[in-house]
Structure formats: C-alpha cells, structure tokens
Structure 1
Amino acid sequence: MTLAAQPGSTDPTSNQPDPALDQSIAPDQPVADEPAVLAAGHVDLGPRYVDDEWTLLIHDDAAQPVWRDPDRTVLQVTDAALQTVPDDPVYGFLGVPAGTQVHVVPQVQHPDVVWVGWNTQDPRVMQTIDRGVTLELADVDGPGDVTMYLQAGTFSEPQVLWRSTEPPGQPMWVEVNTHTHANWVFTAPGVYLVAVRVSADLVGGAQVWATRHLRFAVGDATSTDDALAAQPGEVAAVPPSAGPDADEPGSTGGTGPWLVVGLVVVALGLAVALIVVVLRGRAVRRRVEQERTQP
C-alpha cells in the first residue's frame, strides 16, 4: 500500500492543523552517542545525513531535540498502551479476535506512551531529495504481529500502511517536509526489531537508501536491556497470519516451513506409491490375459 502523505502539519484524525505536529528541525541538531530508553514523549524516524552518509535516525523531541542512533535506542511501549480490540469487523486486519488486549502506540499523542511518527524535515534532506522518500517495512522479528495504520476520525475506515504478516516491502511514499503519526499495534508483549528501509532519488540524479532496525520493548515486563542487545534473527520470529487452525495470537507456533516441506514430501511419496500400485496391477492383468490366450 502506498500513502501519498500531505506536506505540512495536520492532525490526520480531523484534517485540521495540529500544533503538536507543527515543527521545524534545526540543521545543527546533534546526534547523541549515549544509549537511551524512550518510554514517553514525541519521537520520529526520519532520513538524515551523518558524515555525508544517508541513513535513518530517530528524532527525539521529548526534551532537548536530538537525533539518536536506532541501534542505541529502545522505544519502550509500556502497559499504559494497552487497548482492547473493538467488536467491529473493520478491525479484522489486526488478525486478532475482538476483545483481545494489544499494545497500541497511538496516532494521537498519549502522555504516558511513546509517540512514534516519521518526518522528512531535516534541512539537508529537504534540500537534496527529489519530491520525497519511500519508507518500507523490510522485516520484523518479534513474538507477535505488528500493524501500522492511519484512521481519519472515529467513523472513517482504517488505512493500513504496514503489516508484518504480509511480504516485506509495502512502500509508503512520504513527501518532503512531512510530519505524520500513525497507530502501531503489537499483538503480544516482548522484544521487536522492526527493520525500516528509507530510499530516495536526489535532485542530482543519484539514488540513496538505508535500512535500520527500530528496537521496541513492548510491555512492562519486557527488558529494555534485552531490546538494546537483541540482534536480527535472535528474537522470536513473527508467526503467520491467524487462520482457523492457527495458534492463539502471540504464540510462536503455527504452520512453519518445515511442516510444509514435510507435507510435500509425504504427498510425493503417496503419489509414487500409487503409480507403483497401478503399474503392478496392469502387469498382473497382462499376465492373466496371456495365460488365458495360450492353448
């Protein structure tokens, strides 16, 4: 799904100007060196140049504005973010039953929950990119599913942007000088590594891209130290979409690739056995017919 985000600062729940989204970024804002855990306040992921290299950083505006390295930053989603999935089929894309408790980083700021959005407002980025950038969901490691969606008001249909249960990619177009927030839904507590790729065409004709991992520690019981130390592939893989025979949301079970391979092997074996039985039956019939025709 592609989002053609509108430049400027508006509240997507009302399409009215929102002071919380009205920001500008100074060109000399530093990149912090120290590790950080961000459990509340305003943060955005966005492209930035570091030592003339295109990359994706986290802009932390909770106190003194600063850019942070995603590898040294944990986005802690505490139990203050718990919400109940409504009994409404419009939220079926979340893949969990109505009444399920999930952690939600909300589209509209909650004072006790980290507020994660994205921006294309770094001054050098705005000067060098051609119209905008593309954000993609490259991969997700975690104990549950991750979904990001927009919803313009209570009675509007949700607009799904990213789902970890779908193939990687799901490009989202973001115009220059954009600042936007969305709903992030995590179906189970634990450590998540969310790989995000940012790419752009530059006004000079070159192409740039980078992939970085956002580190989420979801739930009060989840260790932020574990989230900071986690490496891609070391946390539980995201299970497939829930189906009639799938495990409960948040489990690490479900139909895995080895089970699929095993079923294919069994099917091939049965097919070969059937062919052998048919050929043997034909051979036996030919011998019987030959014996009947002999004097």
Structure 2
Amino acid sequence: MLRNERARPWLVTAVAVGLLTVGTATTASAEDRLVLDHGHIDAFTLTWNDGTLDLQLQEDVTGSHVPHAPEDVLLRVKPESALELPDPVPPSLSFLGQPGDTVYYLPQTQDPELLWPGWSTERIPAGLFTDPLRIQVTDVTGPGDVFLWQTGSFGGPVSVLGGGFQLPGTISPNVNVHAHANWAFTEEGTYSFTAVASGDLAAGGTATSAPRTYTFQVGDTAEPAPVTTLSVTGMADHYHSGDVVTLSAVQDPATGLDHYHWFTRAAGSDEWVIVPDAAGAEYSFTATAQHDGLAVIARLYDHDHAVVAESEPVTVVVDDHGVPEPPAPASQDIEVTLSDAAGALVISVDPADRRVRMSDLALSTSGDRWVSSGDLRPVTVTDTRFSAPGWSVSGQVGDFSSGAEKLRGGSLGWTPVVTQQPTAAGVLAGPSVASGFTSGDGLSVAGILASAAPGSGAGTSKLGAGLTIEAPTTLRPAPTPRRSRSR
C-alpha cells in the first residue's frame, strides 16, 4: 500500500496497488470459440477503421489488447461468483432481489479469479465524434435478469444506463474512456444479447456499427473445456551414441496451457521417473547405449497442477551397429537443480521510499482549479515462475480527507511508465487515466499500472507513474494546529 502524504498534510489517502496473475484462454468447441472465465476484458470496444464504426471484444488474457469478434468468444461466469443477498438487502440495491436470493456477481473492482468485463472508447480518434457515444444493448435473453451499475464514491449504486440498472439499456461513454462496472445475473444458464455502437460525427451525420451478439454462460451450466489429446513427436527410427534426441509434446486441440512434466521408464522397469528441469513442451538429451529401450511420456497440467492429458509412450532405440561406445572420460559431472516450484511472483515497495510528495496545489493556467503533480514511488515486480503465466499490477485511490474536508479520489490521475525491465521482458505500461475533475472517475476505480502477457514479464521490473491532482477552487487548507506554551 502506498500513502499520499506531505510534511504538513492537507489531504491524506491510500493508493492500493494489487498484483494479479493472468492465465491463458481455452478453445471451446470444434469451431474454436474462445472460452474466457477470468481476466481483464473490454467487452464493448469501439473502433474506427476505414470510415466504419465497429464493436469488438478486447481481452488481456491470451495476450495484450487482443481483439475478437464477440460472436467468437464465450464469457463464463464461474459458480464461485455466486453471492447470497444479505438480510436486510441495502435499500439502494433492492433491485437485485430479496434477502437470501442468490445472484452471480462480477465486481467493478477486479477479482483475478473472475471475469472483469468493461468497455473502452480509447481506440476512437479524438475530434471525430461529439460526446457522448452510445452502446445500445437489446434483445437480452436468458433464464433471469441482468443488472449493470457502477459503485459511487460513497458506496451507492450509480446508473450507467441513463437511470435504470437492468439491461436492456444504453451506455453513453465519452471518447477516450475506459471503464468497468458491476454485473449481476439472477439465475444460472445461458444469456445472450445484441449490442450496437453509434455516435454523432463532428462533421455531421451519424455512424452506426453492425449489431454484435454476446454470450454469457452463468454458473454450473457453463460449457466444459474440450478434451485434449497429447502426442510426442520427433522420435527417430534409431539413434547412435552421441546423437541429440529432441522430443516435442503436441496438443490437439491446442488449449493454451504450457506446463508439462516428462517421465522416463528404463527398459525392463515398471517405474516411471520424472525428468528434472523439464517443464516445457520440449525435452532434449544426448543418447548413450544405456538409453536403448528407454520409454518416454509427457503430461500436460492445468493452473491447479492437475493432469489434463498424457501422451502414449514412445521408445528410444540406440543402435551403434556393433561399434563399442567410447570409454567415459575421466571427469566429474557437477549438477545443481532449480526446482520448478521455487518460482514466485512478488510485488514490493521500498519501505524507506513509500511517501509520495506532491507539489503544492497551485492555480491552473485557466484559473478554474487547483493543480498538483508528483511521481509514484518505484514499484518492483519480480516474477521467477517457470510457467510465466503473466501478471498485471493495478492501482486505486480512496477519497482524500482532512478533518471534515473531503476531496474525491477521482481527482487523481496518472500516466504509468515502466522504468526498468529485462531485455525482451515484454512489460507494458498501462493506459493513462485522466483526473476526473471535469468528468470520469479518475483513479477512484482501478487502473492498470503495468502488465505482462502470458509468456512474458519474467525477471525484475520497476514501475512508476506521473501523478496529477485537480481540485476545485472551493478547496480550503486545513487549519494549522495551535500549540500551547508553558512557563
């Protein structure tokens, strides 16, 4: 946790920086529909290409900002999202149901184990449209109701549909907006709806996208993952002593999982033995006469280290055609093992460098607001996990306060930077979040500081951000405490 504080503080608040592991998506059917059940997803992503407005689904699960046609993706709402409504239900949330009812809830603030769907207009060129744009959701079908809302600064629900909380409805974001919201489904089952994006062009006229279909599967009725077979390829008819044997594990269909273990069984033995330091899709070794008749299998594991698939055994044949194997050299082998279980994902802040010192609030050049700037103190992320599932770091700020005076957390914005990373680590800075002084939520809702897609982000990286606070001119300084003097 980082703390925003000055030597004589007017406002003090806390910025929470969270670390999220990112997994990989699986294909859902013979038609290769992608199944996503967790991670950052901009379900409604507006784009402008060759004079055409389009509506896509963009996700950071299989990579960074990967676009898809919404019809090609199945969005799974896990049974773990089930939430029993309390007794009493807060009056502001009474639209969700009665005490004891169960809803399947996806929160506005990211839970790394669940879907985090939102919307983005960041790919729309500035000046092309007049604000706001429109995302119209219609033809909602399913066994229950679907609700969509945001949580306000004081915990109450805020409509994103122009007044109501239940779909169908219309979301009206401005250009260059990235936002998330709370979703709730009242029953298990399959839901689908149609979405159309539109906007008024600054030059006149209206642009409208083609309709897109979205599908959510909620609870235990979600489609099962495909059955994947595993085979080992690359085995030659025979080898000579000194040849390099290189074997590859091949999935059919591909799942995106990439954690393997290899096992061998000596000729005449019934015992399979795990191969140390072989956790990838490829296993290589140098053949000797002792390898003749060696059987090899590969096993594929999921994120919970459960076996997903196992290959049929392949057998190594070593035939030196009667030429004796050369004598072993008078040498010693030195072995050291780094266990694949030794890896870890760590986020840290130097305890001696955790105070962010912002500049004094000063009037902006336009004279309509107070402005302060500063830099987030370095955040260090170290990823030594061999499976390299990727990661994401996000930040969120609460309201600033000094006695009875308050300044909403949305007054803070940032511009993330990656200040240090290993060569080819692939760590990407998150998008800038503008202060919500004029409009928007600023960092009162979670913003991505940096992320690394699956297969990247290994080693140690350092993150930072330029910070900006914009406050109304009605803000007043905290009174200076009086000190008594004794004689």
TM superposition score normalised by structure 2:
0.37
1:142 corresponds to: 142
1:223 corresponds to: 223
5+ residue gaps, structure 2, are 1-12, 19-30, 226-487
5+ residue gaps, structure 1, are 1-14, 21-32, 226-295
Partner SS state of residue 93, structure 1? helix
Q: Contact (CA 8 Å) 1:74, 1:224: kept in 2 or not?
A: no
Q: Contact (CA 8 Å) 1:102, 1:188: kept in 2 or not?
A: yes
Shift in alpha-carbon separation, 1:18–1:59, aligned structure 2, 3 A: farther
2:99 corresponds to: 98
TM superposition shift of 1:165: 5.9
Partner SS state of residue 80, structure 2? helix
Shift in alpha-carbon separation, 1:181–1:207, aligned structure 2, 3 A: same
Q: Contact (CA 8 Å) 1:107, 1:181: kept in 2 or not?
A: yes
The amino acid across from 1:112 in the alignment is E
1:130 corresponds to: 130
Structure 2 CA distance, aligned partners of 1:41 and 1:127? 31
Q: Contact (CA 8 Å) 1:132, 1:173: kept in 2 or not?
A: yes
Partner SS state of residue 92, structure 2? helix
Decide which moves more: 138-147 or 171-180: 171-180
1:188 aligns with 2:187: yes
TM superposition shift of 1:204: 2.3
Structure 2 CA distance, aligned partners of 1:209 and 1:73? 22
Q: Contact (CA 8 Å) 2:160, 2:172: kept in 1 or not?
A: no
TM superposition shift of 1:125: 4.2
TM superposition shift of 1:172: 2.7
The superposition leaves residues 154-196 of structure 1 with CA deviations (integer Å, 9 ceiling, x where unpaired) of x432123356867x5x333201111110011000011100222
The amino acid across from 2:36 in the alignment is L
Partner SS state of residue 80, structure 1? helix
**Matched ranges for 1:1-295 at <5 A:** 35-44=33-42, 45-49=44-48, 52-65=51-64, 66-86=66-86, 87-88=88-89, 89-94=91-96, 96-122=97-123, 124-126=124-126, 128-153=128-153, 155-162=154-161, 168=168, 170-210=169-209, 211-223=211-223
Q: Percent identity?
A: 29
The amino acid across from 1:161 in the alignment is V
Structure 2 CA distance, aligned partners of 1:43 and 1:114? 7
> Does 1 or 2 have the higher relative contact order (CA < 8 Å, sep 6+)?
1
Q: Contact (CA 8 Å) 1:120, 1:126: kept in 2 or not?
A: no
The superposition leaves residues 53-77 of structure 1 with CA deviations (integer Å, 9 ceiling, x where unpaired) of 3221111122412111011111111
Shift in alpha-carbon separation, 1:111–1:141, aligned structure 2, 3 A: same
TM superposition shift of 1:223: 2.4
Shift in alpha-carbon separation, 1:164–1:190, aligned structure 2, 3 A: farther
Count of matched residue positions in the alignment of Structure 1 and Structure 2: 194
TM superposition shift of 1:18: 8.1
Q: Contact (CA 8 Å) 1:140, 1:164: kept in 2 or not?
A: no
TM superposition shift of 1:82: 1.1
Structure 1 CA distance, aligned partners of 2:188 and 2:46? 28
Q: Contact (CA 8 Å) 2:132, 2:199: kept in 1 or not?
A: yes
Indicate the RMSD between aligned Cα atoms, in angstroms: 2.8
Partner SS state of residue 130, structure 1? strand
Structure 1 CA distance, aligned partners of 2:40 and 2:146? 20
Structure 2 CA distance, aligned partners of 1:76 and 1:215? 9
Shift in alpha-carbon separation, 1:151–1:35, aligned structure 2, 3 A: same
Q: Contact (CA 8 Å) 2:159, 2:165: kept in 1 or not?
A: no
Normalized per residue, which structure has more helix?
1
TM superposition score normalised by structure 1:
0.59
The superposition leaves residues 29-82 of structure 1 with CA deviations (integer Å, 9 ceiling, x where unpaired) of xxxx95311111101111113565322111112241211101111111111211
Partner SS state of residue 137, structure 1? strand
Shift in alpha-carbon separation, 1:148–1:36, aligned structure 2, 3 A: same
2:301 corresponds to: none
Normalized per residue, which structure has more strand?
2
1:28 corresponds to: none
Partner SS state of residue 110, structure 1? coil
Structure 1 CA distance, aligned partners of 2:121 and 2:17? 17
Partner SS state of residue 187, structure 2? coil
Flag the structure with larger Rg.
Answer: 2
